[in-house]
Amino acid sequence: MRYVELNLDGLVGPLFSFGGLAFGNTACQANSMEISNPREAALQGLAKMRFLAQKGIPQAVLPPHERPAIQALRRLGFNGSDETVLQRAAHDCFPIFLRHCSASSMWAANAATVAPSVDTMDGLVHITPANLAAHFHRSLEAAFTSCILKEVFSDPRFFCHHSPLPTHPDFGDEGAANHSRFALSHGSRGYHLFVSGFSPHNQDEPKPKVYPGRQSLEASRAVARLNSLSEDQIVFAQQNPDAIDAGAFHNDVAAVGNESFLLVHELAWRQQESVLRILSARMGGKLRVLQVSSKELSLAVAVNSYVFNSQLVTLPSGGTVMLCPAEAREIPEANRVLCWLQETVESPLTIETFDLRQSMRNGGGPACLRLRIVLSEAELAAVHAGILLDEALHGHLLSWTQRHYRTTLCPQDLADPLLLRESREALDELTQIMNLGSIYSFQR
């Protein structure tokens, strides 16, 4: 049976802004409260999606979440019409209001952790949405993410859905941004690396001094159990506290893998050589590892360039394409790593550069924008067709974005009732374009 990898990208929402909400995400904090360009952000994401679709890579689109999260604000005691709730919340406590307006669902790498059927003990695709407990604004995403994933992967013959873990720091789960699958090919039995930032029960382990870890070891263990993986398929690693303090808040800021290839910074994990030996043994010695030293690339430059947050994608014709942010080419040290990589990798490697500056300024690169899911042909055929990107859907989304999205937005604009109306009109039309029905609360 043939297996392929579906790249599922989050579509940037109409309320994309620079709120500076993610502590530990240095780019996000550096650009806090600046003016954003939602239209440009969405178009940049669509251009990356279209590139892969044109290469014959299965590409899909996740719709943005409804923002502002009016129903969540009502739970905090803000009453009246939706417009009244909006303005009262913004007036009474703007920092809390801002967290209910975040467009962070666009970073679909945090949506869930997925185990393909070729790996699981029951032969189903297992999907566990992330609770994103480390930040309040992101924890608001878990319920809708669960609903939309059940909507687009609805066939119980193929897909098994789990609830997010309890929303508590002890079980903080950041999804696929801290998970990598390694296999000789997409259709081969895979081995799963779970990278955590801390263990809630081990007080003796080294801890970061500046920023907290987000992914709990207990969460990683629970997700591995839920996703029906056997123990011999699982490897656990701890993020290097120095990497977290440098701004590598997720593993995908310091490492990227695809099939049997791994590109990793030497300071990505604690006891890294031991982790690599275990991974290599699980892979029968066939894991190809390229390790970048601090001398070649400091952690600070790795974080600023997001070179490890590139997408590595296997092409249908063979070979690999690497989608990297423009910053990785513009920063000399990062560019040297890319040149070295191209000279060193034995199989054909094409490096493509993408302008994702709006997303990058908010702390998310190419890999942050997508959730990768290995599917059989039958499983792919069972995915909701309305989210699968082709030229027709791309054209619709391009026109839709240009008609509905603003070109400038500052955080204070989020309290404007007109923007609420604009965004709802946009999302209502989007559900029709993607044939998703009434998925948003304002539609019901």
Mean pLDDT, the chain, whole residue set: 97
Task: Supply the pLDDT for residue 283.
Answer: 97
Provide the token pair at 131: 């609770």
CATH 3.75.10.20 assigned to domain 3-443? The reply is yes
Q: Does residue 381 have a pLDDT over 90?
A: yes
Task: Supply the pLDDT for residue 158.
Answer: 98
pLDDT tens sequence across 96-154: 999 999 999 999 999 999 999 999 999 999 999 999 999 999 999 999 999 999 999 99
Instruction: Tell me whether strands 261-265 and 255-258 are parallel, antiparallel or unpaired.
Output: antiparallel
Question: Is 250 one of the catalytic residues?
Answer: yes
pLDDT tens sequence across 38-71: 999 999 999 999 999 999 999 999 999 999 999 9
pLDDT tens sequence across 224-263: 999 999 999 999 999 999 999 999 999 999 999 999 999 9
Q: Which burial class, exposed, middle or buried, applies to 176 when counting CB atoms under 10 A from its CB (0-12, 13-18, 19+)?
A: buried
Instruction: Tell me whether strands 125-129 and 159-161 are parallel, antiparallel or unpaired.
Output: parallel
Question: Is 201 one of the catalytic residues?
Answer: no
Q: Does residue 346 have a pLDDT over 90?
A: no
Question: Is 425 one of the catalytic residues?
Answer: no
pLDDT range class, residue 290, cuts 50, 70, 90: very high
Query: Which residue among the candidates 101, 368, 379, 394 is catalytic per the annotation?
Result: 368
pLDDT range class, residue 1, cuts 50, 70, 90: confident
Task: Supply the pLDDT for residue 105.
Answer: 97
pLDDT tens sequence across 15-40: 999 999 999 999 999 999 999 999 99
First-to-last CA distance in the chain?
A: 41
Query: Which residue among the candidates 141, 174, 327, 379 is catalytic per the annotation?
Result: 174
Instruction: List % helix, strand, coil for the chain (3-state, nearest 5).
Output: 40, 20, 40
**H or E element in which residue 391 lies:** helix 391-404
Instruction: Sheet with 288-292: list strands edge to edge.
Output: 255-258, 261-265, 288-292
Angstrom distance (rounded) from CA 3 to CA 284: 21
Query: Which residue among the candidates 250, 265, 394, 404 is catalytic per the annotation?
Result: 250
